[in-house]
A and B are shown apart, each in its own frame.
Chain A
Amino acid sequence: MEGNLAFLFAALAIVWLVIIGYLVMLGSRVGALQRELDTLKQRDAWTDDEADPAH
């Protein structure tokens, strides 16, 4: 039965590594999209100012 420990730890390693990896991936995707959105918003506001100088 002691040999079975390898299967238990393999299962645990898969669960934790996949979860941590997915969390890191989600975090970086949120960051990248947020930056892209901020850039687009700035460009959008700049275009508004250019189209309407009185604004």
Chain B
Amino acid sequence: MQPISLPDHPAKPVTGFHLDPKTLFLLGAATISMLAALYAALLYAPTERVQGAVQRIFYFHVPLAWTSYLAFFVVMVAGIGYLWKGTPFWDALGRASAEVGLLLTTMMLLTGSLWARPIWGTWWSWDARLTTTLLLWFIYVGYLMLRSSVDDERKAARYAAVIGIVGALDIPIIHQSVVWWRSLHPESVVLASGGPAMPQSMQLALLISLVAFTILYAVLVTLRLRIERLRQDIRLLRRRALERMA
């Protein structure tokens, strides 16, 4: 019997924190950029005249929204890729991005709620933007629950790919919700017609934060994807062991 041939990636030696040099580099870049984002949000950006210091939540809330949309867009692309090619990579990418996206959306909802309380006088409002975002959150909770509840891996991957594609259709609805329906949530100040409706220092602080959170998303998905690939390799070895015993 020939020794099993596995891809190189899981066999690489692991360091103290079980990370390879490429991931460590990405993690370093994410840490530095996140610290820069913290500095830009708390010290560099000017205090907003009406809302005061609490407006600085904006520099985390908006990048969290952007990265959660990015995550679910990647889930959609991975879903299309899996239905088209049927390779485990696309399934693993979709699963990894869905979990990270759910985490980012949860933080987006929490930071939004903490911003809403002093400004709107309420933690939550069933307005169009918030409700469609909560719907997105539930779609991806369902996506991950489906993944863990269906035993047949291929069937679960196919169902999840379809949910990932359909779920992403909520993103443009969320974005346009403040335009289509009356909403407590303000319209986009960044993508406003006629350019961003804020001073340049605020724009720069937001840009730094957007870059930082995008790098962070890349790190989290890379790590989560590694877990999926390790699991795939373990399943392969276990199947092989079972075949030997049969």
A-to-B contact residues, CB < 8 Å: 1-5, 7-8, 10-12, 14-15, 18-19, 22-23, 26-31, 33-34, 36-37, 40-41, 43-45, 47-48, 51-52
Contact = CB atoms under 8 A, between A and B. Distances in A.
Contact of A1 (B52, B60, B220, B237): B52
B227 A8 contact: no
Given A1-B52, A15-B107, A27-B18, A7 B230 contact: no
B103 A22 contact: yes
A8 B220 contact: no
Contacts of B219: 23
Nearest to A32: B18
Contacts of B155: none
Contact of A30 (B3, B18, B27, B240): B18
B17 interface: yes
A12 B53 CA distance: 12
B93 interface: no
Contacts of B241: 40, 43-44, 47
Nearest to A12: B60
Given A1-B53, A19-B216, A27-B17, A36 B234 contact: yes
Nearest to B103: A22
Given A1-B52, A5-B53, A11 B60 contact: yes
B107 A30 contact: no
Contacts of A27: 17-19, 223
8 contacts: A2-B53, A4-B52, A27-B17, A30-B18, A34-B18, A37-B234, A40-B234, A44-B241
